[in-house]
Amino acid sequence: MPHPIVFDTQPGMTKPIRIAVLGASGYTGADLVRLALTHPNIEIAALSANSKAGLTMAEIWPHFAPYPGLPRLITSEAVDYASIDAVFGCLPHAASASLLSTLAGPKIIDLSADFRLKDSATYADWYGGAHPAPALLPGAIYGLTEYARDSLPGAALVACPGCYPTAVLLALLPLMAANAIGPDRITINAISGVSGSGRSLKEANLFPEIAEAVAPYAVGRHRHMPEMEQELSAAANQPVILSFTPHLVPMNRGELVTCIVETTRPVADLRAILQARYAAEPFVHLLPEGTPPATRMVRGSNHAVLNVFADRVPGRAIVIAAIDNLVKGSSGQAIQNFNLMFGLPETTGLQAAPLFP
Amino acid sequence: MPHPIVFDTQPGMTKPIRIAVLGASGYTGADLVRLALTHPNIEIAALSANSKAGLTMAEIWPHFAPYPGLPRLITSEAVDYASIDAVFGCLPHAASASLLSTLAGPKIIDLSADFRLKDSATYADWYGGAHPAPALLPGAIYGLTEYARDSLPGAALVACPGCYPTAVLLALLPLMAANAIGPDRITINAISGVSGSGRSLKEANLFPEIAEAVAPYAVGRHRHMPEMEQELSAAANQPVILSFTPHLVPMNRGELVTCIVETTRPVADLRAILQARYAAEPFVHLLPEGTPPATRMVRGSNHAVLNVFADRVPGRAIVIAAIDNLVKGSSGQAIQNFNLMFGLPETTGLQAAPLFP
Amino acid sequence: MPHPIVFDTQPGMTKPIRIAVLGASGYTGADLVRLALTHPNIEIAALSANSKAGLTMAEIWPHFAPYPGLPRLITSEAVDYASIDAVFGCLPHAASASLLSTLAGPKIIDLSADFRLKDSATYADWYGGAHPAPALLPGAIYGLTEYARDSLPGAALVACPGCYPTAVLLALLPLMAANAIGPDRITINAISGVSGSGRSLKEANLFPEIAEAVAPYAVGRHRHMPEMEQELSAAANQPVILSFTPHLVPMNRGELVTCIVETTRPVADLRAILQARYAAEPFVHLLPEGTPPATRMVRGSNHAVLNVFADRVPGRAIVIAAIDNLVKGSSGQAIQNFNLMFGLPETTGLQAAPLFP
Amino acid sequence: MPHPIVFDTQPGMTKPIRIAVLGASGYTGADLVRLALTHPNIEIAALSANSKAGLTMAEIWPHFAPYPGLPRLITSEAVDYASIDAVFGCLPHAASASLLSTLAGPKIIDLSADFRLKDSATYADWYGGAHPAPALLPGAIYGLTEYARDSLPGAALVACPGCYPTAVLLALLPLMAANAIGPDRITINAISGVSGSGRSLKEANLFPEIAEAVAPYAVGRHRHMPEMEQELSAAANQPVILSFTPHLVPMNRGELVTCIVETTRPVADLRAILQARYAAEPFVHLLPEGTPPATRMVRGSNHAVLNVFADRVPGRAIVIAAIDNLVKGSSGQAIQNFNLMFGLPETTGLQAAPLFP
């Protein structure tokens, strides 16, 4: 008989919120379970992974070896949704909307790309097929928490942003909304850890292919571009088209975006705008002048760090942001949204400081 | 003005325990601060680092960039010990005992090697000089928590075990105490992440010297040997001398020990002994039969995982344990001891699940 | 039209030796091609990989992007063996013997496990099936070059040792042959880079599963054990049974074995034996007293480094060896054997110094 | 008595070229020695490192353990320059020019920044002090080999380009010279392995600070910028000012530059220009359409790989190049220049294929 999870008892908590995590066999789903394990208001009621149904979490995830009490994996069809308060969707795009659109009852926090784009034609262009549930798009909240707070308490369906858009939008939205940067010629170079590629079995993801190497991918055609453009265009009140080049480097977690933007304002003004916007934010931090953001500042945490620098080319500035792609870029932000949807303090369950070294 | 640490307010906690961390500029001290930041009963009252006095934690530690409210570093002499309830000593050996022996008042949890060995002559042999405060040795508790619980509530001075001894003793003590393994010819091979070498500026610690490489060190003469022998001898009721070879590999955290032991008992018996001893432990876990322990099972957490295997050589068995060297092997175990010294639930502040990937 | 390989022209070489590499889609096969590319006497005449037939090497191997002139991959059945002087077999076990046993004409250097064990019953026990060509076993040369030199010039079939046996045997054979170490209780702990696992698509080989982690595998049952025992038993003139525990760590290349042996001789005697044996060897090096071998000393090269240390347990010693698992542990040794089989200087094509950092 | 280096005998070579490597205790100097060891026309006559004078190379460099016959380190003042044919300068800037300007006789290949900039005022601005030997600047050849071939045979002083400029200029010079890209708004993001930081003892270079992390550095003020601008301005026949942001990632070797440029030409035209320029080059390779360059394609070799892509922003293109920063970006190019200075085939000693994995 496995021994019990000693950490999930929360004396004094009258009624926990019962969650299901769909797609718990991927890195995103697993990181959500990791965070949920110590969330004081969550009961992990169901875990699904169709290809691994019947296995325990410990059997497919080494780091859950100390937690034999976690629910066994079942298919997403086998979940008793009537008993679930919140569903976290960690499924691939298209599959996610197909399933989630059939649910009634639980609130939905979706981590796939399916409900991020408002325009189903744009979705079809970039994701290679008609949207499975276009009727849900208008009501879905784009869950970049710091910009969605007012809409989250009553929300039934929240689409968590992609990891790259989270970092880029935190960096650029306040500047764009203040007309402090131009809508043209935004150039973003991004560097990500390999967990962003998922746990898929392809040669490019094997250790020896990644270690001691760096490689760009999806050059000129990464699917996170329309999402960034949608939100920046809204802030700019005009169409924004941007350049975005992501690179994979040999690390597990972490994401850094380096954004070159056009501006007529001195860097001090840009700093002041970011400082004013984020001074009261628990998870977004403008660094001291001259300190470059680095992923080691945020590893394993829900924090984002930002800074802005003068560019050598006159009329431009460099805005840099770093996050943990699996936390603020994915599961952590999902929990942050969940907290607000259920009336909990926003930082509940997300207090862990970054892990360094 | 830096914004406040939003996580350290604990509504309802009547009187926090004020701690000082001496040696907060090393990896061990920093990891203690990381854990203390979210411990609900701790107030971080003072942080010392003589060589960095005057700097902020964020200036010397990238991952504390989001925590500008941490106390500024001061010298250990400048700490107002009268206002401190507990001191965590993360100083180098010898310096640690010299300073801590002068303190009266606060309870002391020492993470150095200074109070681990009962015999000051052995200390002098291995650490290259007379013990600075031999009078304190008899009263110091050897804080391998799972074996020191009865002594911790009233303790004034606790010596936290070294990282390697923690892993080895968790693996072997129950077997030795049960006379299930022999005291002779114990052979231990250990593999550690680089954080175990500390933040010292030497060529061997530079990234390019470590990456893509593995190297043994201190072959036949590692200072953790007398500590393991002391505790195993006590369990065996006879002198134990062992072989121990540590290796550094390119990872930050994690430690794995592979122990080949002599035994006349079948592996199933050894499993049963370990299972009985650890079934109720929150942080020590015997894995299912056949599953090898791995450091990715415990990274960033206070957990230890164990297993035992048949050796090909008849009359021997292989016992393997994995921990995070900075947590269960150092700062986490220190907090675990602190909790029991102050009458708190043992797992307080240590609930974070392992970080994977 | 792809531009030509400018490096493969060898002015003055009257008649190159035409080779085929079977299994060129694995790491071992690829490393053989890498070495063959600059070998002055080799013409790469055919490359096979049944699952990738039709593709170019550059399409499946990023580092051959600068070599578009390499032969396109074909099936092993499509190779024109009549025109081939030497076949390098880099196929999986069983498949290797099945194919190679049908060839007549070319000399064969096999890198699989199929021709290493002299006893077909032992093979069946460890490799899970009857040997496909037991009649070839007696004539196969076990190609640990430094110990097979006399047999190589006339050999038709050479079995290259496994990577672990190469390191272990270089370390222990001279000591065992001199009766300087005992045949009992040999304990070997081994640490290997991930390329040793091959390019196979399984979760355990993905970057995030390996990075920042260490894990033992095949505890008590690794298939290289009978091979080491066969050779050590021959040197000891009595049966040797040993303990061997391999571990994977986050690096691409490199292998280190730490051998604890019983001895009645002082370490200085063991050093003298190793020094005498290897003083004239171009690829095997006894390090200065006290210097531990490390994989960074040999990365990318055909070198092996050794040393011996006193153990804390009386009557024992610690012998350590490091190699690059893909070079001296596999493809480099294969070339070394090839050179001697064809009457070339032993170091031809293997002169590259180690790559560090 | 150490055994001899068996690889440095070159039967038939009548008179080797005697070289001295100044600054052999840095990664650049060590990589030069690595390449020189197997260069058929080079005799390593002297190695200097003032801070390590008296030590052997094997004592300070693990990978030279198999080469005990290398000359012992001496001070740069102790070198007998009258017996030296070529000096490779691997010293820090300013120190390099101070020393090299006093030498007469040997040809000089300098790997420092001292002779790269034609304008001594620019040097003073970026390198923080007056140039030590401005009279030598007009005669120094900027040794980007593919663009300096005509000047190298008679050259007495060659300044090897910085690693970043090597990659950037190989990517952009042909396009700029053809007026196919604009001189304005060039945006370069660069990613480098850590060996580029040198073997200096600072916290930021320790393994745990680098592993599992990415960080930009020298944002807006990296010293390689004026060098790139000098060469691009010459090609453009007008001043070029560019944006350049370098990032460090956890790998030893490798460098990748992602250049966003303005263009009115289709990508196919840009490809055609690059193809025409590099078709006959032994070390510079335009990849097939759509294949992104990656550092694993060139690790440990003197190769560079390039490609060009359409940008999503109209009127722009993305040109990407990858090199090994220590080889083509430093020591390999130095050897390539040396070969031409001494009338040897350009690829001599540089034939090693990339090391992967």
Q: Are D252 and C38 a contacting pair at CB < 8 A?
A: no
3-state DSSP helix/strand/coil % of chain C, to nearest 5: 30, 20, 50
DSSP for D27-89, written as a single string: HHHHHHHHHHHT-TTEEEEEEE-GGGTTS-HHHH-GGGTT-TTSPPEE-GGGS-GGG-SEEEE
Sheet bearing D73-74, strands edge to edge: D73-74, D42-48, D17-22, D86-89, D107-110, D157-159, D141-142
Of C62, C201, C207, the CB nearest to A207: C207
* Residue D13 confidence (pLDDT): 52
- Is D355 an 8 Å CB contact of chain A? no
Contact D213 A251 (CB under 8 A): yes
Instruction: Kindly state whether C205 is in contact with chain A, defined as any CB-CB distance less than 8 angstroms.
Output: yes
Closest to D248 in 3D by CA, of D209, D277, D287 = D209
A-chain residue closest to C210, CA distance: A207
pLDDT tens for each residue of B327-338: 999 999 999 999
Q: Which of residues 126-185 of B touch C (CB under 8 A)?
A: 184-185
D353–C63 CB contact, under 8 Å? yes
Q: What are the start-end ranges of the H helices in chain B?
A: 27-37, 57-60, 95-100, 120-127, 145-148, 163-177, 207-210, 225-236, 267-278, 332-341
Give the angle C162-B320-C258 at the CA atoms, nearest 5°: 40
pLDDT band at A15 (very low <50, low <70, confident <90, very high): confident
Quick check: A191 contacting D, CB < 8 Å?
yes
Residue B263 inside a domain? The answer is: yes
* Burial status of residue A326 (CB atoms within 10 A of its CB: 0-12, 13-18, 19 or more): buried
Q: Do C211 and A250 make contact, defined as CB atoms within 8 angstroms?
A: yes
User: What pLDDT shows up at residue A9?
Assistant: 41
Is any Cβ of chain A less than 8 angstroms from the Cβ of D220?
yes
CATH number where D312 lies: 3.30.360.10
- Please report, to the nearest 10 degrees, the dihedral formed by the alpha carbons of residues C275, C281, C283, C288 taken in order: 20
CA dist D46 to C214, D31, D51, D82, D357, Å?
A: 42, 15, 15, 12, 33
In C253-292, the residues whose Cβ lies within 8 Å of chain D are: 253, 279-280, 282-283, 285, 287-288, 291
- Rounded to an integer, the average pLDDT of A189-193 is 98
Do residue A152 and residue A168 come from a single domain? no
CB contact under 8 A, B6 and A287: no
Domain count, chain C: 2
Distance CA C211, CA B296 (A): 9
**β-strands C186-192, C242-248 pairing:** parallel
Cβ pair D296:A215 closer than 8 A: yes
Are the CB atoms for B186 and C185 separated by under 8 Å?
no
Q: Which of D352, D276, D265 is nearest to D311 (CA)?
A: D265
**Minimal CA separation from D162 to chain B, in Å:** 20
In this structure, is residue B11 part of a structural domain?
Answer: no
Please name the member of D213, D256, D310 whose beta carbon is closest to the beta carbon of A214. D256
- Residue C195: which of A199, A208, A252 has the nearest Cβ? A208
Closest among B321, B357, B51 to B199, alpha carbons compared? B51
Share of chain A above pLDDT 90, in %: 96
User: pLDDT tens digits, residue range A310-325?
Assistant: 999 999 999 999 999 9
Spatial CA neighbour of D88 closest among D349, D324, D330, D282 = D330
- Min Cα separation A205/chain B (Å): 13
- What pLDDT shows up at residue D15? 79
Q: Whole-angstrom Cα distance, residue D208 to residue B253? A: 9
Q: How far apart are the first and last CA of chain B?
A: 36
Residue in chain D nearest B249 by alpha carbon: D207
Question: Do residue B108 and residue B257 come from a single domain?
Answer: no
Instruction: Write down the mean pLDDT value for chain D.
Output: 95
Residue D241, classified by CB atoms within 10 Å of its CB into exposed (0-12), middle (13-18) or buried (19+), is middle
| Residue A14: per-residue pLDDT | 56
D222 shares a domain with D175: yes
The end-to-end CA distance of chain C, in Å, is: 36
Report strand pairing: D215-216 vs D157-159. unpaired
Q: How far is D259 from chain B (nearest CA, A)?
A: 27
- Chain B hits for C294, CB-CB cut-off 8 Å, are 213-216
Provide the ipTM.
Answer: 0.95
Pick the residue from chain B with its C-alpha nearest to A350: B7
Q: With b meaning 16 or more CB within 10 Å and e meaning fewer, what string describes D122-159?
A: ebeebbeeebbbeebbeebbbbbbbbbeeebeebebbb
Q: Tell me which residue has tokens 């992967």.
A: D356
Is C352–D347 a contact, with Cβ atoms under 8 angstroms apart?
no
At residue D288, the pLDDT reads 97
Q: Which residues contact A146 (CB under 8 A, 6 or more apart)?
A: A170, A278, A281, A283, A284
- Parent domain of C170: 164-325
Tell me the pLDDT tens digit for each residue of C7-49.
444 444 557 999 999 999 999 999 999 999 999 999 999 999 9
C241 with C300: CB under 8 angstroms?
Answer: no
Indicate whether B280 and B320 sit together in one domain. yes
Rounded Cα distance, B8 and B37, in Å: 7
Helix (H, G, I), strand (E, B) or coil at D190: strand
Does residue D112 fall inside a structural domain? yes
CB within 8 A of D284, min separation 6: which ones? D146, D170, D278, D303, D304, D306
Q: Does D305 touch chain C (CB under 8 A)?
A: yes
- Cβ atoms of residues D232 and A232 within 8 Å: no
What are the residues facing B191 on neighbouring strands? B247, B256
State whether C201 and C94 are in the same domain: no
Closest-CA distance of chain A to residue D246, Å? 10
The verdict on C125 and C170 lying in the same domain is no
Closest CA to D52 of D86, D89, D93, D22: D22
What is the CATH number for C83?
Answer: 3.40.50.720
* Cβ separation A202–C201 shorter than 8 A: yes
Considering D90, D160, D163, D259, which one is annotated as catalytic? Answer: D163
Nearest to A356 among B62, B282, B283 (CB): B62
| Whether C294 and B242 lie within 8 Å, measured CB to CB | no
**Nearest residue in B to A37, CA atom:** B353
What are D229's two structure tokens?
Answer: 């601008």
Q: Are residues D142 and D21 in the same domain?
A: yes
Exposed, middle or buried: residue C311 (CB in 10 Å: 0-12, 13-18, 19+)? buried
Report the chain A residue with the minimal C-alpha distance to residue B348.
Answer: A7
Q: Is C124 helix (H, G, I), strand (E, B) or coil?
A: helix
**Cα–Cα nearest to B174, from B307, B323, B278:** B278
Per the structure block, which two tokens stand in for C87?
């076949």
| Cβ(D123)–Cβ(D89) below 8 Å | no
C319 forms beta bridges with C259, C308
The first and second tokens of residue B203, run together, are 């060529």
CA-CA distance, B3 to A353, in Å (whole number)?
Answer: 16
Residue B5 has pLDDT above 50, yes or no: no
Q: CA-CA-CA-CA torsion for B230, B234, B236, B239, nearest 10 degrees?
A: 50
Band (A356; pLDDT cuts 50, 70, 90): very high
Q: What is the mean pLDDT of residues C281-299?
A: 98
Q: Which residues of C touch A212 (CB under 8 A)?
A: 252
Chain C contact for D213 (CB, 8 A cutoff) = no
Task: Tell whether D200 is covered by a domain.
Answer: yes
Position B12 confidence tier, pLDDT thresholds 50, 70, 90? very low
Answer yes or no: is pLDDT of D4 > 50.
no
Does pLDDT of B35 surpass 90?
yes
Measure CB to CB from residue A206 to each of C206, C212, C250 and give the nearest one: C206
DSSP labels for A27-59? HHHHHHHHHHHT-TTEEEEEEE-GGGTTS-HHH
Angle between helices A267-278 and A163-177 (to 10 degrees): 110
pLDDT, averaged across chain C: 95
On whether residue A242 sits in a domain, the answer given is: yes
Name the residue among C202, C208, C252 with its Cβ closest to that of A208. C252
Domain shared by B208 and B107, yes or no: no
- So what's the pLDDT on residue A13? 52
What pLDDT, in 10s, does the model give residues B217-255?
Answer: 999 999 999 999 999 999 999 999 999 999 999 999 999
Q: Token pair for residue C45?
A: 């005449």
Q: Give me the residue from C208, C299, C312 closest to B220, CB to CB.
A: C312
Does residue B215 form part of some domain? yes
Interatomic CA distance for residues C222 and D122, integer angstroms = 62
User: Which residue of D189, D242, D260, D307 is the best one to mutate when testing the A interface, meaning the one whose CB has the most A CBs within 10 A?
Assistant: D189
Q: What confidence tens digit (pLDDT) does each residue in C250-273 have? A: 999 999 999 999 999 999 999 999
| Same-domain check for residues B76 and B190 | no
Beta bridge partners of B21: B47, B88
B226 and B208 both lie in a single domain: yes
Per the DSSP assignment, residues forming a β-bridge with D107 are D86
Do residue D260 and residue D115 come from a single domain?
A: no
Average pLDDT, chain A: 95
User: Which SS3 state, helix, strand or coil, does residue A339 take?
Assistant: helix
**B8 inside domain:** no
User: Which residue type sits at D119?
Assistant: D
Which partners does chain B have (≥3 C-beta pairs < 8 Å)? A, C, D
What is the rounded CA–CA span in Å between residue C232 and residue C172?
Answer: 8
Question: Which residues of A are annotated as catalytic?
Answer: 163
Give C-chain residues touching B209 at CB under 8 angstroms: 296, 357
Contact criterion met (CB < 8 Å) for A206 and C195: no
Nearest to A62 among B30, B300, B356 (CB): B356
Percent share of chain B, pLDDT over 90: 96
- Smallest CA–CA distance, residue C66 to chain A, in Å, is 16
Is some CB atom of chain C closer than 8 A to the CB atom of B209?
A: yes
Distance from CA of D310 to the nearest CA of A (A): 6
What tens digit of pLDDT does each residue of B104-127 get? 999 999 999 999 999 999 999 999
- A175 lies in the same domain as A311: yes
Domain assignment present for residue D60? The answer is yes
Instruction: Name the D residues in 312-331 with CB < 8 Å from any A CB.
Output: 312-314, 316, 318, 320, 322
Task: Tell me, yes or no, if D343 comes closer than 8 A to chain B by beta carbon.
Answer: no
Given a cut of 70, is residue B65 above it in pLDDT? Answer: yes
Closest chain A C-alpha to C208 CA, distance in angstroms:
5
- What pLDDT score was predicted for residue B104? 93
CB-based burial of residue B159 (10 Å sphere; 0-12 exposed, 13-18 middle, 19+ buried)?
buried
The helix or strand, by DSSP H or E, that contains position D93, with its residue range, turns out to be none
What whole-number distance in Å separates Cα of residue D143 and Cα of residue D334?
Answer: 8
What subunits make at least 3 CB pairs under 8 angstroms with C? A, B, D
SS3 A111: coil
Would you state the pLDDT for residue B279?
A: 97
Establish if A7 touches chain B: CB-CB under 8 angstroms. yes
Contact with chain B for residue D78, Cβ under 8 A: no
Using CA atoms, how far residue B253 sits from B57, B143, C209, in Å, is 21, 21, 14
Residue B294 near residue C211 (C-beta atoms within 8 A): no
Q: Residue B254 and residue C311: Cα distance in Å, rounded?
A: 25
CA distance A243 to chain B (A): 29
